[in-house]
Amino acid sequence: MDQGNPLVEETASAVSSLSEEVVRVEGLWKVYGRESKRITSDKYSQMSKDDIRKKTGNIVGLKDVSFSISKGEFFIIMGLSGSGKSTLIRNLIRLIRPTTGRITINGVNITKLSENDLLEFRKKTFGMVFQNYGLLPHLTVLDNAAYGLKVRGLPKGKQYAKAMRFLETVGLSGWEDYYPNELSGGMQQRVGLARALANDPEILLMDEPFSGLDPLIRRQMQDEFIEIQDKLNKTIIFVTHDLSEALKLGDRIAILHDGEIAQIGTPEEIVTVPADSYVQEFVQDASPAKVVTAGSIMVEPEVLLYSWEGPRTALSILKNARRSGAFVVDKKGILLGVTNINRLERIIENPVESQTKRIDASAITKIPSVSEDTILEDLFGIVSANPYPIPVIGENRRLVGVVRTDDIFETISPNRGDQND
């Protein structure tokens, strides 16, 4: 975890600093029924989906949905069945035509495109992965993976070369000549993924891609997909009904309820600050341990020792503060480790070592540290293995705060917000 984090931090900051908008959805409505256009007026936007159906007989699929997605972002659309999430993702590629509203992708308003321009636009911009894979059963795995390229009119040789490369990316080399029905569900979905990736799309649309898989395979696919995404860094729009999947994968999550967006936010925001009772109910079983990060619950260390202070000073600081131990940092603020009264006293009593002006290595125990975006779940192992608070380090291994054991357990205890607040 520690090793991978600087990279994640870097990409995250790159995303936020550039924040180049790729998808922008404004006032999107999808209404099924005779008077669909009329329903999208202001008069109805305050009414609930049920009331509109009872009053007018029109079924609202999406109700005044607006959001935007930046380049490289992993955006999750989450909701239960019937919430409109599949409708929403299909609107983005205009497999379903919106009733009103604007969908701007890379600055192009796709609701206004002609049929031909739309086909071209789909070829260039999108790759899509489906819940039940949407493979063509009469074609081999290789031909399936190459289908998008075939539609684009690439010569056969190039189609296959590219398709092969992405079959390899998803771990399916050697399976090219099989037919989809000879593969397991997880492998079929890999073919679906390879097919989408082979087109080198800017935006990857994924409609519950892992929902049809067994839990174990699902987890494995999620992990592998995270790896693939780390390499390719696409903009991803991912539909799911599975909260833990959403929290695990998403940079941001939009929760849909009855065709409306109930909340958009980072996983942590969604779990810790639910916007309304619906979201609250949705996330109540979610473990904050999976979303809350060390950075958000860390505090400043009450006592901090500096290596140049020397053992005697350190000892008196600790005694005054009634502490048995503390973290030690050097001049640059880099964490060296932890020391305690016993060790300092032993050094002072020892005639040779007592001459030292600094708290040096012999007094310091190295301890594991975490970064700001480490989730609490990953702290459990460290908590159980050592008695100290957990140091949180930022750039260049500088100490930025500590996480106290009590705070961890207070955050994840299920009745937080009831009694503790």
Partner 1 sequence: MIDFPEIIRIPLRDWIDEIMSWLLNNLETFFDAVGWSILQVMLGFEFVFTHIPWFIFIPLAFLGGWRMLKSLSSGITFALMLFLIGTFGYWEMAMQTLSLVSASVLFSLLIGIPTGILMAQNNRAESIIKPVLDGMQTMPSFVYLIPALMFFGLGRVPSVIATIIYAAPPVIRLTNVGIRTVNPEAVEAAKAFGAKRKQVLWDVQMPLAKPSIMVGVNQTTMMALAMVVIGSMIGAKGLGMEVLLSINRIEVGRGFEAGISIVFLAIIIDRLTFSLSERTSQNNQSHE
For residue 211, which phi and psi values (nearest 5 degrees)? -65, -30
Is 119 one of the binding residues for partner 1 (CB under 8 A)? yes
Which of 249, 244, 250, 281 minimizes the C-alpha distance to 265?
Answer: 250
Is 205 one of the binding residues for partner 1 (CB under 8 A)? yes
Q: Which is nearer to partner 1, 190 or 290 (CB)?
A: 190
Residue appearing with tokens 């957990």 = 390
Residue from the set 61, 101, 180, 337 that interacts with partner 1 by CB under 8 A? 180
Do β-strands 108-109 and 100-105 pair in parallel, antiparallel, or remain unpaired?
Answer: antiparallel
Contact track, partner 1, 252-291, x by CB under 8 A: ----------------------------------------
Residue from the set 1, 7, 136, 321 that interacts with partner 1 by CB under 8 A? 136
- Contact between 225 and 192 under an 8 Å Cβ cutoff? The reply is no
CA 35, distance to chain mean position in Å, is 39
Residue from the set 83, 91, 199, 339 that interacts with partner 1 by CB under 8 A? 199
Please name every residue paired with 401 in a beta bridge, in sequence order, or none if there are none: 392
Is 120 one of the binding residues for partner 1 (CB under 8 A)? yes
Cα–Cα distance measured from residue 93 to residue 101, given in angstroms and rounded to the nearest whole number: 14
Tell me the number of residues near partner 1 by CB under 8 A: 36
The DSSP output letter for 110 is G
Q: Which is nearer to partner 1, 236 or 329 (CB)?
A: 236
Q: Which is nearer to partner 1, 99 or 131 (CB)?
A: 131
In the three-class reduction of DSSP (H, G, I as helix; E, B as strand; rest coil), residue 89 is classed as: helix
Measured torsion, CA atoms of residues 407, 412, 415, 421, in degrees rounded to the nearest 10 = 30
In the three-class reduction of DSSP (H, G, I as helix; E, B as strand; rest coil), residue 100 is classed as: strand
Q: Which is nearer to partner 1, 188 or 340 (CB)?
A: 188
Q: Which is nearer to partner 1, 213 or 329 (CB)?
A: 213
Residue from the set 30, 90, 248, 290 that interacts with partner 1 by CB under 8 A? 90
Is 98 one of the binding residues for partner 1 (CB under 8 A)? no
Q: Which is nearer to partner 1, 216 or 385 (CB)?
A: 216
Straight-line distance from the first to the last Cα atom of the chain, in angstroms, rounded to the nearest whole number: 32
- Contact between 209 and 236 under an 8 Å Cβ cutoff? The reply is no
Report the interface residues with partner 1, using CB under 8 A: 90, 93, 95, 119-123, 126-128, 130-138, 147-148, 150-152, 179-181, 183-185, 188, 192, 195, 199, 205
